[in-house]
């Protein structure tokens, strides 16, 4: 009985299933109290707008702690609040978002498309990489008059490529007109998962 080491590889693209939206809201005032009040008013306006226009429940948002800083040169204070939410990926929602946020002063946002249930997708790619390794092992063994009888050891490497995801993220934070123009022409971005497996197969001569 002998052994051969073979590398198998596989790449699969998966369409984004989740959309993460991150918002930063600022308030300002001559005192910390007025800055906080101004900022919280804008937060409430944003949450209400998201609920009325996009049917997003305010309770689904993740709210971070408030920060208030003093601007010594301008004798004023700035309030900052960051909130985020993860929803089902939807390009039409992305288009609406640009217009809605533009109506709320001192509010910026960024978006990030994501995959859901990544471990299961990785398993699928690993299986394909293993199948590729087995196919190569069968071919090599056959050339020397042998057959593959089992597996002695498996090791794998992980790679993820998100160029298309990054491209659309850039579009999402562009100006309203540009964002809508491109988003209406694009499908949901894809993320590519790549796996490589190193497999040591057991081989023996054909009977």
Q: Span 18-114: which CATH code?
A: 3.30.70.260
Cα-flanking dihedrals φ and ψ of residue 38, to 5°?
A: -65, -45
Could you tell me the CATH superfamily of domain 2-15+117-165+187-205? Protein of unknown function (DUF541), domain 1 (3.30.110.170)
Please give the pLDDT value at position 74: 80
Residues in CB range of 21: below 8 A, 6 or more apart: 84, 85, 86, 87, 97, 109, 110, 111
Please report which confidence band the pLDDT of residue 159 belongs to, taking 50, 70 and 90 as the band edges. Answer: low
Tokens of 205: 């001569």
Please report which confidence band the pLDDT of residue 47 belongs to, taking 50, 70 and 90 as the band edges. Answer: very high
Question: How many CA atoms does the CB half-sphere of 7 hold within 13 Å?
Answer: 4
User: Mean pLDDT for the chain?
Assistant: 85
| pLDDT tens string 2-27 | 999 999 999 999 999 999 999 999 99
User: Does the pTM exceed 0.75?
Assistant: no
Given a cut of 50, whether residue 78 has pLDDT beyond it is yes
| pLDDT tens string 108-117 | 999 999 999 9
Give the domain ranges of the chain.
Answer: 2-15+117-165+187-205, 18-114
Given a cut of 60, whether residue 170 has pLDDT beyond it is no
Question: How many CA atoms does the CB half-sphere of 175 hold within 13 Å?
Answer: 2
Tokens of 104: 């709320």
Given a cut of 90, whether residue 98 has pLDDT beyond it is no
Please give the pLDDT value at position 20: 93
Helix (H, G, I), strand (E, B) or coil at 95: helix
Instruction: Find the mean pLDDT for residues 57-79.
Output: 91
Pairwise CA distance, residues 159 & 162, whole Å: 10
Lowest mean pLDDT segment, chosen from 8-17, 28-37, 173-182, 189-198: 173-182
Given a cut of 60, whether residue 178 has pLDDT beyond it is no
Cβ neighbours around 45 below 10 Å, total: 15
Please give the pLDDT value at position 180: 46
Given a cut of 80, whether residue 175 has pLDDT beyond it is no
Q: Decide: 108 and 24 in contact? Cβ < 8 Å.
A: yes
Instruction: Find the mean pLDDT for residues 124-151.
Output: 94
């Amino acid at each position: 009985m002998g052994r051969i080491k073979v590398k198998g590889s596989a790449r699969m693209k998966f369409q984004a299933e989740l959309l993460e939206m991150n918002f930063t809201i600022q308030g300002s005032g001559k005192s910390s109290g007025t800055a906080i009040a101004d900022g919280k008013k804008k937060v409430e306006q944003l949450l209400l707008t998201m609920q009325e226009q996009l049917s997003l429940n305010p309770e689904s948002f993740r709210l971070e702690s408030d920060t208030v800083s003093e601007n010594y040169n301008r004798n004023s204070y700035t309030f900052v609040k960051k909130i985020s939410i993860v929803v089902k990926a939807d390009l039409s929602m992305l288009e609406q978002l640009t217009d809605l946020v533009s109506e709320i002063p001192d509010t910026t946002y960024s978006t990030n498309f994501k995959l859901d249930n990544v471990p299961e997708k990785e398993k699928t790619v690993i299986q394909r990489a293993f199948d590729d390794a087995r196919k190569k092992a069968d071919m090599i063994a056959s050339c020397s008059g042998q057959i593959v009888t089992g597996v002695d050891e498996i090791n794998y490497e992980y790679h993820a490529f998100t160029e298309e995801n990054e491209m659309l993220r850039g579009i999402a934070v562009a100006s309203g007109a540009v964002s809508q123009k491109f988003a209406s022409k694009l499908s949901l971005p894809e993320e590519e998962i790549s796996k490589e497996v190193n497999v040591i197969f057991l081989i023996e001569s054909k009977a």
